[in-house]
Chains A and B, each alone.
Chain A
Amino acid sequence: MATDTYTRIEDSAAGQKLAGPVGWLDDRLGLAAAGKKNLRKVFPEHWSFMLGEIALWSFVVLLLTGVFLTLWFVPSMAEVTYRGSYAPLYGIDMSEAYATTLNISFEVRGGLLIRQIHHWAAAMFIAAMFAHMLRVYFTGAYRKPREINWLIGVGLLGLGTIAGFSGYSLPDDLLSGTGLRFVNGLVRSIPLVGSYIEFFVFGGEFPGTMIIPRLYMAHILLIPAILLGLIGAHMLLLVYHKHTQWPGPGRTNDNVVGYPMLPVYMAKAGGFFFVVFGFLALMGALIQINPVWVYGPYNPAEVTAGSQPDWYMGWVEGAVRVMPALESTFFNRTWTWSVFMPGVLLMGVLFTALGLWPFIERWITGDDREHHLLERPRNAPVRTALGAAAISVYLVFLIGGGNDIIAIKFGMSLNAITWFVRIGIIVVPIIVFMVTKRICIALQRKDNADLTHGYETGVIDRSPSGGYAERHAPLPDGDQFALTSARERLPQLESEKPAATDEGGVRNPKFRKQSLRHKAREFYFDGSVDKPTSHEMDHAAEHLEGAGEHPVTQGEDFKGISHWGVPGDHEDH
């Protein structure tokens, strides 16, 4: 490799030519001072750290393709007669918004491709944010000092959903109009002020002429601008906090180990942009998405079977579908619970709960330390189980949202699916919670067993008496460290039980609050298994060295197998 000698950039021919302009810029911007700290900034490496990057690059693709689409799209409800090349709609009256969307799809070369890439990128943007959020949740990466970045993330997810929905509504085809009709119904179901919000947001009743232009403004200006700002803040905080990392030998809570920004991460992240863009372009080339032409123009007297929102609204759609009829009248007003509760309230509750979770968890654990090492999901059983239960709620609602498609594709009864969801939404998360928590605890036990009894080598010994036993060998030091260093010691819950009165018989004024928190702590830590103490580890080491019942001398040539079963002919780290 290093046979040829490297000329420093400032001494190279190109460097000498550039020295002038770069110096000019530095005199004015102080580039070197800014670059000094950040150019070789370290990022740890793991595939799951790139989920957020998928979202980021999808967003860039959205901006690029979106600009292209605005060159032709006209967000107008003015009535025109279609004379374009899509024959089955020839001569039909439609809005200019729909006609220009057809025009982009059939008359502008490459327009269909860019439209499809844009739509795939939107679906991908939100899906990737989702996956990223799950990664952050299940590894506890939102803990101090990253709570604010979690909140920004929740904001991004909410705004991304609104951005997606506003884009879905723009073409004014039958599907998007049906979606708007639905949202109109949601808005006006808000108790007391629903009609006011509806008339102000929609500029009157739906269908009207103002909503598409307004959504267009929100879609191409307002929301992307806020998204851009929030993404910037998200990234700045990421740089300031430095990325979290998985525990491992040499990787502690006080350092970050990985490759430098320049050149390795610049290349990997930059290359990943091209991968994401290329992948989305291939999806645009091969898979049709939202063929607006088959739906026809919006008409309030028409609808198509299988009317669905895009996937990220599917769970709300499902909740609205399975909600039993509930409408009441008091104070001379109508209260449309069956629309308001699943359609508006549920979303509010979900996003509030998401935003509050890091603070709730901190209140329970009372943990005020900074955490830069990721926690394995098994080591926070209740957190993991709550997350799994939340996912199951989401999926059950999603089944409700696709109940008509499921019914027709699998020959099932629509009503039966609806009833399954109505019952399942209560039963399934409880089961999932219990099962997940048990699995986590079992895995914690398994980790402890590996630590104190070593791993199974796959070598069977036959004892003189004819019994068989598998040899165990201690885990490599690095693995032992990885398994224990990020694992929190459990609190001594028994000793901290609050008392209603102190020794002197004086009433404890904070008793109720303290015992509530104590109950929450009992719930949170229930069943968790603590990591072995150093004493236990010393004892285990003695045992594994042969002081115990069966000998574990392995012989010169035996390399054992690693704890995950790969033969030990090469060393894993």
Chain B
Amino acid sequence: MTDELDLKAHDPIGDPGLPEHQWRPQDVDPKQEKRTERHIAGMLGAAALLFVGFCVAYFAIPIDAVVFKTGATVGWSAQNFAFGMTLGGGLLLIGIAIIQWAKKLMGDHEIVELRHAAGSEKDDIDAVLDDINAGIEESGIARRPLIRNSLLGAMAALGLPAIVLLRDMGPLPHGHTNTVWKKGMRVVNDVSGKPIKPSDLEVGQLVNAQPAVFFETDEHGQHLYHGAELHAAKAKAAAIVVRMRPEDITPSAGRANWGVDGILCYSKICTHVGCPISLWEQQTHHLLCPCHQSTFDLADNGKVIFGPAGRALPQLPISVDSEGYLVAVSDFPEIVTPSYPELARDQKKLDKKFGGNN
């Protein structure tokens, strides 16, 4: 590389220096100066008035009042509008006034300040090195490896409690092999908890379903599941029931009797990252996830036909009980929930449990 001196010599244009200072109207015309002063004071005064207006609005406007409601529009919260306009308007005016003051009235001469290299001077470096050496020498850290090494050892050991203390942040991961579905548990309509008969469903029907246990109560009339516990269970057990024409369905080996007259039940939890999916197109039999657009074909065993999901949608085998309601034949034979590292291992366990034919 060419050295720096050489580069400088090649610089074609010398520095002409700062241009001559030019004056603002306010610097030369006292009238203009007074006018600008009044403008700035006016803005600050208006800001003060707006803040008083904020307080008036705070006590005068009822919380449910609505502004800008016309036939075509639904309107906005009057409070939010009034508070925001007065507060924001006032703040903006203060800001503009101060900046205007700086631009128009404050000193306007540019100042030149010289830079220094960011690195230290040689003398400073030498002085610091002397000090450091004195420190090393006086502490004797170089001469006493025993203390030095045992200190390092103690510090390293201090790291252990710091890590161990975090152990209880969570339980160790467990498998996700089962959900609350059981053999004979009724498939019920979400929200209302109504059990479903095959005759209730028409071709093209979609039911967002849950296991009946979520709607059961104990002897005190309390739900068996509620709050976070209910959410955790729902996040795996949520299902959708769809009815197609039986001739449209192409079940894979062993799944021929998993449905009832074209009624099939699938997990509602996307195998990608777990969004609940229920965008079912009744004519194409495709199910779309609204989060990342994985698309599953429910007529073809929940196979992935588009998007990032890696696994088919798990299917819940169903039949009807003695009263004619839809029930689960077993738990899901495939892992519900988005993929995790131990999924392959857990799926093998499941396969063993279900006789290895899935």
**Chains A and B in contact, CB within 8 Å:** yes
- With beta carbons under 8 angstroms apart, the residue of B12, B90, B304 that contacts A532 is B12
Partner of B85, one of A203, A282, A298, A325: A282
Cα of A288 to Cα of B88 in the assembled complex, Å: 15
Pairwise interchain contact B273-A334, C-beta atoms closer than 8 A: no
Interface residues of A in 469-526 (CB under 8 A from B): 477-478, 480-481, 484-485, 489, 491-492, 496
Chain B residues with CB under 8 A of A298: 231
Give the docked Cα–Cα distance between A500 and B341 (Å): 48
User: Which of A252, A268, A300, A532 meets B15, CB within 8 Å?
Assistant: A252
A551 at the interface (CB under 8 A from B): no
Partner of A369, one of B4, B87, B269: B4
Cα A496 to Cα B224 with chains together (Å): 79
Name B75-112 residues within 8 Å CB distance of A: 76-77, 79-81, 83-85, 87-99, 101-103, 106-107, 110-112
- Interface assignment of B311: CB less than 8 Å from any CB of chain A: yes
Say whether B114 contacts A414, CB under 8 Å.
no
Docked-complex contact B112 and A250, CB < 8 angstroms: yes
Instruction: Report the minimal beta-carbon distance from A311 to chain B, rounded to whole angstroms.
Output: 17
Q: How far is the CA of A39 from the CA of B28 in the complex (A)?
A: 28
**In the complex, A41 Cα to B77 Cα: how many Å?**
46
Q: How far is the CA of A284 from the CA of B234 in the complex (A)?
A: 36
Q: How far apart sit A329 and B111, CA to CA, in the bound complex (Å)?
A: 67
Given A274-B92, A329-B344, A370-B117; A485-B170 close (CB under 8 Å): no
Asked if B143 lies at the interface with its beta carbon under 8 angstroms from chain A, I say: no
A442 to B98 CA separation, bound complex (whole angstroms): 43
A236 is an interface residue with CB less than 8 A from chain B: no
CB of A154 within 8 Å of the partner chain? no
Contact call A110/B79, Cβ cutoff below 8 A: yes
What is the CB-to-nearest-CB distance from A366 to chain B, in angstroms, rounded to a whole number? 6
Q: Which residue of B lies closest to A415 (CB)?
A: B306
For A531, list chain B residues within 8 Å (CB): 12
Q: Tell me how far the C-beta of A29 lies from the nearest C-beta in chain B, rounded to whole angstroms.
A: 25
Tell which of B84, B115, B291 touches A182, judged by Cβ atoms closer than 8 Å. Answer: B291
B274, A489: Cβ atoms closer than 8 Å: no
CB distance from A328 to the nearest CB of B (A): 9
The answer to whether A40 has its CB under 8 Å from any CB of chain B is yes
**Cβ of B339 < 8 Å from any Cβ of A?**
yes
CA distance A198 to B110 in the complex (A): 57
- In the bound complex, residues from chain A placing their C-beta under 8 Å from that of B304 are 325
CB closest residue in chain B, given A186: B273
Contacting residues, chain B, for A132 (C-beta < 8 A): none
Q: Are B14's CB and A370's CB within 8 A?
A: no
Q: Shortest beta-carbon distance, B144 to chain A, in Å?
A: 34
Q: A207 to B228, Cβ gap below 8 A?
A: yes
Residue B272 at the chain A interface, CB threshold 8 Å: yes
In the complex, what residues of A have CB within 8 A of residue B113's CB? 41-42, 242, 255-257
Q: Decide: A1 near B30, CB < 8 A? Known: A181-B273, A325-B304, A338-B272.
A: yes
* B93 CB → nearest A CB, Å: 7
> A127 near B: Cβ within 8 Å?
no
Contact flags A271-300 to B (C-beta < 8 A → 1, else 0): 111111111111111101000000000111
Report yes or no: A185 in contact with B7, Cβ–Cβ below 8 A. no
Question: Quick check: B80 and A112 within 8 Å, CB to CB?
Answer: yes
Tell whether, in the assembled complex, residue B344 and residue A110 are in contact, meaning their CB atoms are under 8 Å apart: no
The answer on a CB contact under 8 Å between A481 and B15 is: yes
Q: Is A202 an interface residue (CB 8 A)?
A: yes
CA distance A507 to B64 in the complex (A): 85
Kindly state whether residue A109 has any CB partner on chain B within 8 Å. Answer: yes
Interface residues of A in 1-41 (CB under 8 A from B): 1, 3, 40-41
Closest 7 pairs (CB-CB, A-B):
A285-B84, A185-B273, A327-B310, A281-B88, A274-B95, A278-B92, A250-B18
With A184-B338, A188-B338, A323-B308 given, name 10 new contacts (CB 8 A).
Answer: A185-B338, A250-B17, A256-B112, A256-B115, A268-B99, A281-B84, A300-B234, A303-B291, A532-B12, A533-B12
- Chain A residues with a Cβ under 8 A of chain B: 1, 3, 40-42, 77-79, 85, 93, 106-107, 109-110, 112-113, 116-117, 144-145, 178, 181-182, 184-186, 188-196, 198-210, 240-242, 249-260, 263-265, 267-268, 270-286, 288, 298-307, 317, 320-327, 329, 332-336, 338-339, 342, 366, 369-370, 372, 403-404, 414-415, 418, 451, 477-478, 480-481, 484-485, 489, 491-492, 496, 531-534, 536-537, 573
- List 22 A-B pairs, Cβ < 8 Å: A3-B30, A93-B227, A110-B79, A110-B83, A145-B118, A182-B275, A185-B273, A191-B341, A196-B173, A204-B170, A208-B228, A249-B19, A257-B112, A272-B95, A277-B88, A278-B90, A281-B88, A301-B276, A334-B343, A336-B310, A369-B4, A534-B12
